[in-house]
Amino acid sequence: MYHPRDIIEAIAANLRTTRNPFGIPHFMVNRWWRKSGLTTGGDALLFTGLMYQFIPYIETSTAYLAKYEDSPLNAYLRYARYVPGYFSGLGLATITPGREKRKFDRILQDIVKLLKASGVDFGYRPELDRYSGILLYDLGDQEGFVRHARWLADRLRKAGVKKLITVDPHTTYALKELFPEYTGARFEVHPYFELLRLKGGNGRRTVALHDPCFYGRYLGLSDVPARALADLGIDCAPLDRSGAYTHCCGGPAESISPSLAVEVGRRRLDQLEATGAPIVAMCPICLGNLRKLGADVQDLSSVLAETLQ
Amino acid sequence: MTRLSPDFVEEMKRYSHDTALACFNCGTCTAICPLIDEHFPRRMIRYVQIGAKDRILENAPELWKCLHCGLCTQTCPREANPGEIILGLKRMVVAHWRKS
Ligand code: SF4
Ligand code: SF4
């Protein structure tokens, strides 16, 4: 286990100086939209919060962290703020494979496809699509989180944004629940699957849908993605631990203890595998952590988008 | 020996909702917690109740094992909100580290 103080201070320093928890320049992280043909207008703004884009970097960085966990070398992390290397900055950006980045970019492109096929009127403004700060909130750096959230809320307000379409549970929770409480900014926030109006599909099948804690428990939204799947002929296999009682994927532990993330994730994976159905996740953290354990996990958006072909 | 701070419950109001005193130590949170630890998070809540701030600071890194998954809060029979108390303790410890 790493000392939480070192991890928190490294992330807080990155967020303060670059507005990015890993210290990677914005234009390098957020490139998925370039060929999407999206315009800046529309009734709602697509807001990814960059979580999907971060996963390849998190994977690279935790692979290194896991190597040195509980070894004397973990003391080096204390200097990560000054040494761009495996933990942050351009060093991390360079050692993260492009193939992995493209895999996660495709998820966002699928979400765009689904929204367009549902006739949703929306636009995208890459300069406004920034990180919500949620990791600092979860780690207990309340001061750092509130400072960053106010900065972002202010930018969105000044740009006249009223309605946001989100793509992951952590950013959705931050914008829906935390921003009103800590910044006073209230936006109309919809996870993308709430807006889908698709029917049909290409034959009935069953999947094991893993509810993330923030959708299942904190926001009580599990039945919405299940309905979007059912509308396209895809059923969800019954799971003992789902909805408000869903079991965590273990991912949130990975910055402090990669081994704990594996341990908790393994327990969740056993429950999902017991259904015998293909596993589907709808959160970048869950997707990353369950895949790291060797499971073949698809994102909800990919499963839905397959039926459009 | 553990030094008790009688004002600790009051101090914690700065960091999270004031729910620790509702806890009657039943251990449901510990039984359901995906960390499968013998005492977490129940013992931390107990430390808050009795004002054992020193004990919390000594064992502080343990707080960051918590995934903030909310399962304990969902199942607590007393609505003591254990998950949010743990988050509040993280905030308290971060503030303490930054001061020292
Ligand atoms: S916090 Fe709730 S579940 Fe945990 S020991 Fe106290 S009363 Fe029981
Ligand atoms: S919120 Fe933390 S303490 Fe509560 S069940 Fe989840 S991991 Fe355990």
The three-state secondary structure class of A297 is strand
Domain count, chain B: 1
| CB proximity B14 to A under 8 Å | no
Rounded to two decimals, the ipTM of the complex is 0.94
CA distance A257 to A270: 20
> For residue A304, what are the CA distances in angstroms to A115, A148, A213, A297?
11, 34, 21, 14
> Considering CB atoms only, which of B65, B75, B87 is closest to A253?
B65
Contact (Cβ atoms closer than 8 angstroms) between residue A152 and residue A171: no
Would you put residue A140 in left (φ > 0), alpha (ψ -120 to 50) or beta?
A: left
Same domain, residue pair A48 and A165: yes
Q: Does B28 score more than 60 pLDDT? A: yes
Measured in angstroms, how far is the CA atom of residue B17 from the centroid of ligand 1? 15
Tokens 């900055």, located at residue: A89
Would you put residue B51 in left (φ > 0), alpha (ψ -120 to 50) or beta?
A: left
The confidence score (pLDDT) of residue A101 equals: 72
Measured in angstroms, how far is the CA atom of residue A210 from the centroid of ligand 2? 18
The alpha carbons of chain B give a radius of gyration, in whole angstroms, of 12
Q: What is the pLDDT of residues B37-96, one digit of tens each?
A: 999 999 999 999 999 999 999 999 999 999 999 999 999 999 999 999 999 999 999 999
Structure tokens given for B1: 């020996």
The confidence score (pLDDT) of residue B17 equals: 86
What is the 3-state secondary structure of A228-250?
Answer: HHHHCCEEECCCCCCHHHCCCCC
CA distance A44 to A163: 5
Measured in angstroms, how far is the CA atom of residue A271 from the centroid of ligand 2? 18
Residue where a domain terminates, one of A166, A194, A222: A194
The confidence score (pLDDT) of residue A83 equals: 38
In a domain, B3, yes or no: no
Same domain, residue pair A32 and A71: yes
**Residue A118's domain spans which residues?**
4-194
Higher pLDDT, A252 or B29: B29
Tokens 């320093």, located at residue: A13
User: For chain A, how far is it from start to end, CA to CA, in angstroms?
Assistant: 45
Contact (Cβ atoms closer than 8 angstroms) between residue A173 and residue A219: yes
The confidence score (pLDDT) of residue A64 equals: 63
CA distance A126 to A109: 14
Work out the widest C-alpha separation in chain B, in whole angstroms. Answer: 37
In a domain, B78, yes or no: yes
Contact (Cβ atoms closer than 8 angstroms) between residue A180 and residue A186: yes
Same domain, residue pair A96 and A173: yes
Domain count, chain A: 2
Chain A positions in Cβ-Cβ contact with residue B68 (cut-off 8 Å): 138, 213, 252
Q: Considering only CA atoms, which of A279, A291, A270, A268 is closest in space to residue A63?
A: A291
Residue where a domain terminates, one of A161, A194, A227: A194
The finding on whether B83 has its CB within 6 A of some atom of ligand 1 is: no
Alpha helices in A160-257 (DSSP H): 169-173, 179-183, 213, 223-231
CA distance A205 to A215: 23
The confidence score (pLDDT) of residue A257 equals: 85
In a domain, B62, yes or no: yes
Contact (Cβ atoms closer than 8 angstroms) between residue A295 and residue A231: no
- Residue B14 is given by DSSP the state T
Same domain, residue pair A26 and A164: yes
The finding on whether B31 has its CB within 6 A of some atom of ligand 2 is: no
Same domain, residue pair A84 and A169: yes
- Residue B20 is given by DSSP the state G
pTM of the predicted model, to two decimals? 0.93
Nearest CA in chain B to A134: B68
Exposed / middle / buried, residue B92 (Cβ in 10 Å: 0-12, 13-18, 19+): buried
B67–A248 CB contact, under 8 Å? yes
CA distance A128 to A122: 14
Residues of chain A with confidence (pLDDT) below 50:
79, 81-86
In a domain, B1, yes or no: no
Q: Which residue type sits at B58?
A: E
Same domain, residue pair A247 and A159: no
Residue where a domain terminates, one of A194, A215, A246: A194
Same domain, residue pair A206 and A189: no
Non-local CB neighbours of A41 within 8 Å, separated by 6+ positions: A123
CA distance A198 to A230: 10
Same domain, residue pair A57 and A172: yes
Structure tokens given for A208: 């094991």
Same domain, residue pair A60 and A170: yes
The confidence score (pLDDT) of residue A17 equals: 87
**Residue B24's domain spans which residues?**
8-99
Please report how many Cα atoms fall inside a 13 Å half-sphere around the Cα of residue A211, on the Cβ side: 28
The confidence score (pLDDT) of residue A102 equals: 80
Q: Does B21 score more than 60 pLDDT? A: yes
The confidence score (pLDDT) of residue A86 equals: 47
User: What is the overall mean pLDDT for chain B?
Assistant: 94
